[in-house]
Amino acid sequence: MSSARRLALFVSLSLLLTAGLAPAGQASSLVSASETLVDFGSVPLNSYTNGTPIYVSAVSGNVSIGSPSTYPKNPPFIVVQDSCTGSTIGPGPTGYVCTISVDFSAYEGNGTSPGHYRSRFILYDSNGHRLLALTFKGIVLKP
């Protein structure tokens, strides 16, 4: 194999391996998540859909999780379970893994109306550095 081909193969493999270390939507290579985009699909107004738990673990070493932020802060996405905030996680599967669960609650009483919705849930470490951004999206249909 020529040196030019070896270099091309090395560059291709390096890009592939580097891309595997930081999945799309992830702000840091310190943590990984079972998914970073949750699409709830379409739900009729005045109904809800339960979200599946998202598992977060450290890639290497221990990571202390600080307070999260949600943008925008209004419904219809409701965090119903968050064991990440204030915890220290380690490399999975043997380290501690935390979970986040979000429901899509499309009720008029919480200010929701028909339309497309998108929100981001951002995890920070205990020093305020952004670790991970999770995106939630869904459509509320007219009844």
Domain coordinates of the chain in residue numbers? 25-141
pLDDT-based confidence at residue 83 (cuts at 50, 70, 90): very high
What pLDDT, on a 0 to 100 scale, did the predictor assign at position 114?
Answer: 93
- Tens digit of each residue's pLDDT (9 = 90 or more) over 85-128: 899 988 866 677 889 888 898 888 878 899 999 998 898 988 88
pLDDT of the residue at 25: 39
Describe the chain by its helix, strand, coil percentages, rounded to 5. 15, 45, 40
pLDDT of residue 9: 26
pLDDT number for residue 51:
85
Q: Which CATH architecture has domain 25-141?
A: Sandwich (2.60)
Q: Which of 98, 93, 140 is nearest to 116 (CA)?
A: 140
- Six-digit token string for 8: 């091309």
d(CA 46, CA 37): 23
pTM for the whole thing?
0.69
Q: What percent of the chain has pLDDT over 70?
A: 76
Among the listed residues 58, 55, 116, the one whose alpha carbon sits nearest the alpha carbon of residue 82 = 55
Between 25 and 50, residue with greater pLDDT: 50
- Tokens encoding 22: 């930081």
**Mean of per-residue pLDDT scores for the chain:** 76
